[in-house]
């Protein structure tokens, strides 16, 4: 064994250390500040305790709270701390498993009849922090299976014994901190002192090993942070997210509704929601016309044979809506699950030449897919929805240019609607498993490099995933981060070599030979339903002025000014300014409050003085009083406010 080992750091630098050095000591040699933040380390690709000795030349990455794996180690260690706190407060409690999750961690426990609910959370949180302040080290101890079994038999922990049953002797480790010992393969943070804030989020029932034949345990969900402020921020965001829940706002703002009688997962668009939706459609329709798309309309059903040809019947038929029968024996139709097959048939309505391509067919096409009732969620998971769909039929040499154009369209949509933080995923073939994809090597290479180059040319922030492509072609998916930092998957652009084959699409080349076009599916919004849900949650219902269902509210302070209010309202309508005239017999304070609840951007208040001078008093939501204006002044002001989105930069 050599005395010195070589440690390669992520920046490529190599340093020598005594054999047996720990990651924590390596951190210390770099800076004390870094060492204070090290939670764990990745050594030759494996995450381990920062306190484990390293005995061979290794590549070492120090992990802190800013790394996903650092956070996971922090939260998993917090699960041990939670268990220790619970054991002190609930003697005899038995433990299942305690893994980290996306945000925090849980521990499954058997309280053996002891009561534990919301009012006990604070007590447990306080105990966790009291124990954390003792800065107890997490001590790793390899142990034989026999000794491990003896330990948990003595302690009386049947679930740990069940876990041990499936482990091999020689691979088992215990971790202890303070008075608590757990069966665990680690890794853990150096000591409990890193944990400065703890919150029990909720409890739920969970069957042991997820099997309903087993006993129902109590799953305690919690989250911890290295700073109290981070916990405060997190809880604030959760509250904000609840307030912005599109299901709640959709109801309050009267945008959409669901009816059991109509059926689960089938949204009903109310007048205001319909207005919003039509605005969005018109916005995209206009942009698409500028980008060379042609609008088409296809029916909501299609013969079963259409979907047998497209392959959808084979793939989804069994798990979706059943065929519609007619009085004609043997005649079967399906609710349209996709628009693509219809568009392929439009392509085939006449012979196409290389000069006709690209052909871009767009449709706000409503499709129906059966989702399990448990999967349904507001507007984001529904059974009937409208895609902002389009299919581009082009020559293989046009794929890159078409991709660039679609990327431009998608980015234009994002920017116009206030999504500034976006990224994209490029999904390519698994190079080790090429036979599972259809289409020639040459076509794939061409399309893949077209997507990569197009993304680079447009400066997209991308991650590339090998093996994530569909069997019929590579794709580009867009993700946006909303105002609360949540990630949503939005539009997608997908190359398809499959449907042109199945539908035997052709074009005549300049050499008079027949060729297959490439098909590109794309939907910048994804679906109108899902996109509006995200728009509501991102804006909290405060839509951009051009999208607001009600842009203004005319609020006369009493019925004496009804005629003047009508005159003002009519003039605004004539100038394409939408809203309502509140002629209710209510106090002006009440009318203003209701307009605020409805998130109306501008309130025009009028009374004696305004009527006499032919003016209105303008209030802007979130800003306050803008003073008095003549109607013409307000119209000019309004048109200026709406401009940035209504007249977006040319594509
Ligand atoms: Zn552990
Ligand atoms: Zn399609």
Same domain, 172 and 206: yes
343 labeled binding residue: no
Name residues with Cβ closer than 5 Å to ligand 2, which is an ion: 340, 521
Same domain, 340 and 388: yes
Confidence of residue 536 (pLDDT cuts 50, 70, 90): very high
Can you give the CATH number for the domain in which 562 is found?
Answer: 3.40.50.800
Confidence of residue 446 (pLDDT cuts 50, 70, 90): confident
User: One of 389, 482, 496, 582 is an active-site residue; which one?
Assistant: 389
Is 127 annotated in the active site? no
Q: Nearest ligand, CA of residue 174?
A: 1
Asked if residue 236 belongs to a domain, the reply is yes
Is 475 annotated in the active site? yes
Same domain, 306 and 394: yes
Can you give the CATH number for the domain in which 55 is found?
Answer: 3.10.20.30
Asked if residue 249 belongs to a domain, the reply is no
Asked if residue 84 belongs to a domain, the reply is yes
Distance from Cα 340 to the centre of ligand 2, integer Å:
4
- Among 241, 273, 307, identify where a domain stops: 241
Tokens 């798309």 correspond to what residue?
293
Confidence of residue 530 (pLDDT cuts 50, 70, 90): very high
Q: Nearest ligand, CA of residue 341?
A: 2
For 371-375, what is the mean pLDDT? 88
Asked if residue 584 has pLDDT above 90, the reply is yes
Confidence of residue 649 (pLDDT cuts 50, 70, 90): very low
- Among 512, 539, 566, identify where a domain stops: 539
Q: Which residues of 555-584 are buried (b: 16+ CB within 10 A; e: fewer)?
A: bbbeeebeebbebbbeebeeeebebbbbbe
Is residue 211 left, alpha or beta, with left meaning phi > 0 and alpha meaning psi from -120 to 50?
A: beta
Determine the pLDDT at residue 650. Answer: 40
Determine the pLDDT at residue 1. Answer: 60
DSSP per-residue string spanning 170-199:
TS-EEEEETTEEEE------SBGGG--EEE
Q: Nearest ligand, CA of residue 344?
A: 2
The length of the chain in residues reads 651
Measured distance CA(248)–CA(538) in Å, rounded: 14
Specify burial of residue 279 (Cβ count, 10 A radius: 0-12, 13-18, 19+): middle
Same domain, 379 and 454: yes
Coil/strand/helix, residue 100:
strand
246 labeled binding residue: no
Asked if residue 651 belongs to a domain, the reply is no
Determine the pLDDT at residue 644. Answer: 55
For 401-421, what is the mean pLDDT? 91
Confidence of residue 611 (pLDDT cuts 50, 70, 90): very high
Same domain, 270 and 419: yes
Q: Nearest ligand, CA of residue 523?
A: 2
Measured distance CA(348)–CA(362) in Å, rounded: 16
Same domain, 45 and 95: no
Confidence of residue 315 (pLDDT cuts 50, 70, 90): confident
For 521-545, what is the mean pLDDT? 92
User: One of 475, 530, 591, 599 is an active-site residue; which one?
Assistant: 475
Q: What is the pLDDT of residues 209-234, one digit of tens each?
A: 999 999 999 999 999 999 999 999 99
Q: What is the pLDDT of residues 258-272, one digit of tens each?
A: 999 999 999 999 999
Can you give the CATH number for the domain in which 216 is found?
Answer: 3.30.980.10
Same domain, 56 and 82: no
The structural domain count of the chain equals: 4
For helices 562-574 and 631-646, give the axis angle rounded to 10 degrees. 40
Confidence of residue 554 (pLDDT cuts 50, 70, 90): very high
Determine the pLDDT at residue 454. Answer: 93
Same domain, 291 and 183: no
Same domain, 312 and 391: yes
Is 387 annotated in the active site? yes
User: One of 369, 516, 591, 599 is an active-site residue; which one?
Assistant: 369
Is 290 annotated in the active site? no
For the chain, percent of residues with pLDDT exceeding 90: 83
By the 8 A CB rule, do 237 and 485 touch? yes
Domain that holds residue 602: 552-646
Q: Nearest ligand, CA of residue 181?
A: 1
Asked if residue 381 belongs to a domain, the reply is yes
Q: Nearest ligand, CA of residue 140?
A: 1
Neighbouring C-beta atoms of residue 505, cutoff 10 Å: 19
Can you give the CATH number for the domain in which 307 is found?
Answer: 3.30.930.10
Asked if residue 556 belongs to a domain, the reply is yes
Distance from Cα 271 to the centre of ligand 2, integer Å:
29
Identify which of 558, 551, 547 has the alpha carbon closest to the alpha carbon of residue 608: 558
Tokens 């208040």 correspond to what residue?
605
Distance from Cα 245 to the centre of ligand 2, integer Å:
30
Distance from Cα 48 to the centre of ligand 1, integer Å:
11
Coil/strand/helix, residue 270:
coil
Same domain, 376 and 517: yes
Asked if residue 546 belongs to a domain, the reply is no
Distance from Cα 627 to the centre of ligand 2, integer Å:
51
User: One of 48, 387, 551, 611 is an active-site residue; which one?
Assistant: 387
Confidence of residue 594 (pLDDT cuts 50, 70, 90): very high
Average pLDDT score, the chain? 93
| Percent helix, strand and coil across the chain, each to the nearest 5 | 40, 30, 35
Determine the pLDDT at residue 619. Answer: 95
Is 340 annotated in the active site? yes
Residues facing 424 on adjacent strands: 462, 478
User: One of 277, 521, 522, 599 is an active-site residue; which one?
Assistant: 521
For 243-248, what is the mean pLDDT? 93
Q: How far apart are the first and last CA of the chain?
A: 65
Determine the pLDDT at residue 645. Answer: 54
Asked if residue 545 belongs to a domain, the reply is no
Same domain, 195 and 290: no
Asked if residue 161 has pLDDT above 90, the reply is yes
340 labeled binding residue: yes
Same domain, 111 and 53: no
For 552-579, what is the mean pLDDT? 95
């Amino acid at each position: 064994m050599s005395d010195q080992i070589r440690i390669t750091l992520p920046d490529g630098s190599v340093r020598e250390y005594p054999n047996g050095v720990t990651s924590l000591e390596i951190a210390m040699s770099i800076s004390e500040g870094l060492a204070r933040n090290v939670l764990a380390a990745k050594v030759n690709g494996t995450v381990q305790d920062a306190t484990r000795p390293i005995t061979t030349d290794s590549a070492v990455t120090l992990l802190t709270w800013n790394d996903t794996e650092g956070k996971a180690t922090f939260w998993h260690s917090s699960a041990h701390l939670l268990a220790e706190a619970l054991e002190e407060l609930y003697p005899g409690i038995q433990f299942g498993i305690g893994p980290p999750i996306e945000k925090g961690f849980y521990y499954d426990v058997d309280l053996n009849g002891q009561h534990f609910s919301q009012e006990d959370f604070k007590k447990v949180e306080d105990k966790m922090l009291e124990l954390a302040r003792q800065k107890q080290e997490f001590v790793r101890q390899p142990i034989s299976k026999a000794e491990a079994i003896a330990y948990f038999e003595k302690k009386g922990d049947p679930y740990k014994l069940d876990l041990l049953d499936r482990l091999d002797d020689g691979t088992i480790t215990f971790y202890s901190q303070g008075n608590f010992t757990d069966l665990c393969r680690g890794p853990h943070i150096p000591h409990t002192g890193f944990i400065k804030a703890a919150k029990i989020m909720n409890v739920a029932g969970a069957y042991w090993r997820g099997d309903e034949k087993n006993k129902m345990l109590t799953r305690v969900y919690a989250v911890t942070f290295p700073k109290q402020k981070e916990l405060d921020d997190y809880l604030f965001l959760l509250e904000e997210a609840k307030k912005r829940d599109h299901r709640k706002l959709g109801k309050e703002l009267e945008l959409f509704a669901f009816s059991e009688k109509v059926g689960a997962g089938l949204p009903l668009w109310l007048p205001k929601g319909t207005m919003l939706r039509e605005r969005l459609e018109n916005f995209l329709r206009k942009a698409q016309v500028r980008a060379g798309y042609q609008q088409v309309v296809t029916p909501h059903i299609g013969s079963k044979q259409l979907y047998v040809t497209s392959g959808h019947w084979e793939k989804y038929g069994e798990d979706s809506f059943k065929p519609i029968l007619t009085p004609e024996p043997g005649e079967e139709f399906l609710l349209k699950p996709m628009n693509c097959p219809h568009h392929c048939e439009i392509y085939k309505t006449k012979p196409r030449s290389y000069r006709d391509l690209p052909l871009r067919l767009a449709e706000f096409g409503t499709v129906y897919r059966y989702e399990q009732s448990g999967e349904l969620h507001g507007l984001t998971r529904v059974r009937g929805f409208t895609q902002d769909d389009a299919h581009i039929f082009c020559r293989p040499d046009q794929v890159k240019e078409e991709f660039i154009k679609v990327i431009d369209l998608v980015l234009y949509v994002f920017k116009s609607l206030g999504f500034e933080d976006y990224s994209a995923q490029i999904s390519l073939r698994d190079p080790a498993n090429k036979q599972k994809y259809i289409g020639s090597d040459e076509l794939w290479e061409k399309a893949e490099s077209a997507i990569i180059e197009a993304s680079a040319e447009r400066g997209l922030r991308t991650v590339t995933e090998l093996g994530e492509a569909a069997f019929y072609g590579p794709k580009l998916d867009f993700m946006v981060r909303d105002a609360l930092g949540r990630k949503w998957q939005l539009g997608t652009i997908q190359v398809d070599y499959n449907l042109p084959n199945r539908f035997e699409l052709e074009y005549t080349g300049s050499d008079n030979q027949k060729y297959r076009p490439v098909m590109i599916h794309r939907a910048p919004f994804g679906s109108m339903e899902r996109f509006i849900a995200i728009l509501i949650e991102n804006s909290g219902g405060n839509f951009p002025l051009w999208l607001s269902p009600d842009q203004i509210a005319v609020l006369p302070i009493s019925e004496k000014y009804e005629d003047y209010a009508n005159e003002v309202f009519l003039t605004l309508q004539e100038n394409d300014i939408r809203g309502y005239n509140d002629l209710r017999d209510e106090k002006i304070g009440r009318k203003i409050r209701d307009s605020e609840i409805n998130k109306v951007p501008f309130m025009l208040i009028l009374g004696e003085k305004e009527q006499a001078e032919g003016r209105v008093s303008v209030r802007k939501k979130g800003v306050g009083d803008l003073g008095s204006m003549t109607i013409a002044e307000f119209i000019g002001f309004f048109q200026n406010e709406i401009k940035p989105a209504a007249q977006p930069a040319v594509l």
